[in-house]
Amino acid sequence: MPTIRETLELAIDLQNRGQVPQAAACYEAILRVDPSQPDALHLMGLVASQGKRFRQAEHYIRRAISVAPDCALFYGNLGVVLRQSGKLEEAIEAYRTSIEIDSTLADPHYNLGRAYKLKGDFVSAESSFRTSLALEPHNQSAVLSLMGLLVAEDRLSEAIEVGQSGLEHCPNPFRLHVQLALIFQKLNCIDDAIDQYKRALSLEPQHVHTLCRLATLLLAKNLLTECDYYLNRAHALEPTNQYVLCTLGQRQSAIGQSQSAIDYLRTAQALYPNFGAVSIYLGEAHSKAGRFTEALASFDHACQSESIRAEALAHKAAALMNLGRLDEAEQNYRQAIELRPGFHQAHTNLLLCRHYCPQASASDLLGEHIDWNDRYARGIAERFDFDVQPLVNRPLRLGFVSADLGQHPVGYFLVRVLEELQSADVESYIYSDRVRDDRITTRCRAVATCWRDGVGLGDQALTDRIRQDQIDILFDLAGHTAGNRLMVFARRAAPVQITWAGYVGTTGLGNMDYLLADPYHVPSGTESDYREEILRLPQSYVLYDPPTDAPPVNELPALKHGVLTFGAACNPAKVNSQVLALWRQVLDHVPGSRLSLCYSGWLDQSNQLRVREALGLEAGADRVIFYSPAHTGDVLQWYQSIDIALDTFPYSGGLTTCEAMWMGVPTVTCPGDRFASRHAYAHLSNVGLTNGIARSQAEYVQKAVALASDLPQLQQLRQSLRAKLSSSPLFQGQEFAQNFVELMRRVYERHLVGQRHIGSAAGR
C-alpha cells in the first residue's frame, strides 16, 4: 500500500494535470486514514474552491490551519476563498496573518493588494502590489494589476514605467505589451502603441483582437496598406469574429464606403447582439453618412452596455446636436462626464455644443471654459525655463499646431497667410496632425520652413519637440474642436502662446496668453468675455483663398425661374427654433419664395420634419429644398441655385459667407454678443456689405425682405460681389502679412522685456 506522502504526491500531480476528481479521491483516502492531515485538508479546500463550493473550501482550510497554525500558505489561500465568497474584511485579515507568519511570500502581498483595490483603498493596494513585485518581479499578474490601478488613478506615465520594468522580468509578456499599447493610446502616443502591438504579435501572431487593434491604429494614421495586411490576417483566422467585422466596418467608413461599412457592422450586431461596441461603430458609420436618426438609435442601444455607457452617451450627444436637439445633447454630454470624471474629450465637445445654444451667454461660456481648464489642464502645467533670445539678426520663429491645414475652414483661411509669410522675416514651423493630404495641405507644406508630422506623437512628445525647435510664438489653430492639442499648450510648449482661427472664443486655458481677433469679432469693451488677452489685427483676422475650380457667377436664379430662393449652407446644429422662426417670417413676407438647405445631414428625415413643422409646411411641399453635397465643389455649384443667403445665430457662418460672396450671393446676418455669432458680420463688414447686417431679429427679416424686393439691384450686386471681395481686406495678403508680423514682433518683444509668462507653468 502507498504511504500518505506517496498518495499526496500522486494527488498533487493529478490536480496539476487537471484531473481534479481523481485528485479529490486521493485526498479523501488520506483523510480516511488521517482526518487531521493538514496538506490533504488544505488541498481538499482548493478542490472545493475550484468547484466554487466556497463554504466547503473555507471549512477544509480552517481545519488545516487548526492543525498547522503557523503555515503562511494556508492563511494565504484562506484569504483567496474568503474573497471569492464575498467576505472581503475576513480575507484581508487572513492575508495579513499570512504575511505576519512569512513576509517573504509574494502571493499574499499580491492578493492583499487585490482585496484592498476591491475595497477602494488604492493607497494600500499599491503598496501591496509593489511589495509583491519586489519579492517576485516576474509575476505578470501583479505587474498588470499595479498598472491597472495606476491607470484608474490617471497616473499613466507611472503605469508605463511599471509595465516597461515588467518587460525585463516577465516571460512571454504578451499581455504586458497589449496593456502598454492601450495606455499609449490613452496618451495619444499612437506610434508607441503601434510598436507595442507589433511586439505583442511577435509573441502571439494569431491573436485576432490584437491584430484588429493594430489595424485600427494604422487606419487612424491612413496607412491603409499596412492596415489591410494585419486586418486580412485577422479575417483569414476568424472571418466572423466581432472585432474583425467591426474593424472592417471602420475601414470602409474611413474611406467613404458608408453602405459597405454599415453592412459589415450590421452583420456584427446580428451575430453579437450583446457586444455594445459594435453599436457605437455602427452609429459612427451612420453619422458619417448623414443618417443621424439611425445613428441615434445605435447609440441608444450602446448605452445599455454599462462598460461603454459614458462613451455611448458622448456619441449620442453628437448625434442629437446634428438633429438640432441641443438641450438633449448638452444633457447627454454632462451625463457622460459624470459617469467618467476624467472624460475631457466629452467635456471639450460639450463646450463646442454650448456655442450653438441661444440661451448661453458670453459670461456663461467663459466660466465653463475656465472650469474645463481647472479640471483637466491646470494640473499638467509644467515649469520650463525657455532660452529666450532677442530678435537681433534672426527671424521670428512661429509655430502652428493644427490637424486642419487642408480642405477645412482653417486651411482655407490660413493657406494664403502662410504663403505670404514666406517673404517676411519669419520662420514657419508647422506641427500637423493632418492624416490625409489634399491640395491645401500640399500648399501649406510647400511654404513651411519646417513641417513636423504630429500624428502618432503624444502630447508630451510633441511638447518636447516644439521646445527643442525653440519656437518664439506658438499658435493653436483648433481650440476645443476635433484633433486639438490643447494639452500641449497647457504644458506650455513656447514662451508665447496664441489661439487663432480654429475656434470661436476663449479656450479657458491659463497658459494661453492671447486670442488673435479683429475689431468685428471682439469689439472694444468685450475683452472680459475672454480669459486670454485680446490681440486685434486692424481689419480681418484671416485671409480668404477662393477655390480655383469655382464655377462662374451665374444670372440671378429668381430672374430665370421667377421664384426667389433663400439658402443656408449650414450644419443642422446651427438651425435652432429661433432661426427657424425668423426664416418662416421671411418666407411669409416674400410670397412664393423658397428655402434651400445645403449640408451633410439635411437628407435625414428627422431634420427635414422639424424644419417643415417650424416653417408650417407639409411634407412634400416644394418651398423647402434639402441638399446633401457629395463633394466640396458641389456646394459652390449649389450657390448658383440661390439668390440670398440667410445666416444662422448664435453660431454664424464664416467660410460659407465668403463662399457665398465669391459666388455672388449676399448674406443677411444678425450678430450677437459672442465670437461665434460675428463671423458673417466681420466678413460682410470687410467687403462693405453693411446692408445685410441687422441690429435685431426684426431687422433681420426686414433686410432679407428688402433684398428680395428689388431683383434688378440684386442681380447687379450678384455680378459685382466677386470683384468687391477681391479688393477687400480678406484678399490683401501683403498688407495682412505686414500687419501680422509687426503685431507678433511687438508681442514677442513685450514678453521679452517683461518676461511675462516665460518659464511660467500656471499662466493666469
Where do the H-state alpha helices sit in 407-506? 409-420, 439-447, 459-468, 486-491
Q: For the chain, give every domain's residue range.
A: 4-198, 381-543+743-750, 557-726
Per-residue pLDDT at 1: 61
Give every residue of the chain whose pLDDT is below 70, as ranges.
1, 619-620, 754-764
Closest CA to 477 of 535, 428, 418, 405: 405
What backbone torsions phi and psi does residue 599 show, to the nearest 5 degrees? 175, 155
Per-residue pLDDT at 760: 36
> Is 525 buried (19+), middle (13-18) or exposed (0-12) by CB count in 10 A?
exposed
Q: In angstroms, how far apart are the furthest CA atoms of the chain?
A: 117
Reading the block at residue 402, the C-alpha cell is: 493644427
Give the integer Cα–Cα distance in Å for 230 and 210: 9
Reading the block at residue 750, the C-alpha cell is: 513685450
CB 252 within 8 A of CB 565: no
Per-residue pLDDT at 200: 98
Peptide bond into 21 cis (omega under 30): no
Q: Can you name the CATH fold of 557-726? A: Rossmann fold (3.40.50)
> Do 4-198 and 381-543+743-750 fold alike per CATH?
no
Reading the block at residue 302, the C-alpha cell is: 450602446
Per-residue pLDDT at 6: 85
Q: Can you name the CATH fold of 381-543+743-750? A: Rossmann fold (3.40.50)
Mode of pairing for the β-strands spanning 514-517 and 450-453: unpaired
- Contact residues for 663 (Cβ-Cβ < 8 A; gap 6+): 550, 551, 553, 636, 639, 640, 721, 722
Quote the pTM value. 0.87
CATH of domain 4-198: 1.25.40.10
Give the integer Cα–Cα distance in Å for 352 and 452: 27
Q: Which residues pair with 514 in a beta bridge?
A: 498, 533
- Residue spans of beta strands (DSSP E) within 320-467: 396-402, 426-432, 450-453
DSSP 533: E
Rg of the chain over Cα atoms, rounded to whole angstroms, equals: 32
Per-residue pLDDT at 751: 87
Three-state SS at 672: coil
Give the integer Cα–Cα distance in Å for 640 and 111: 72
Per-residue pLDDT at 13: 87
Give the integer Cα–Cα distance in Å for 762 and 524: 27
DSSP 120: T
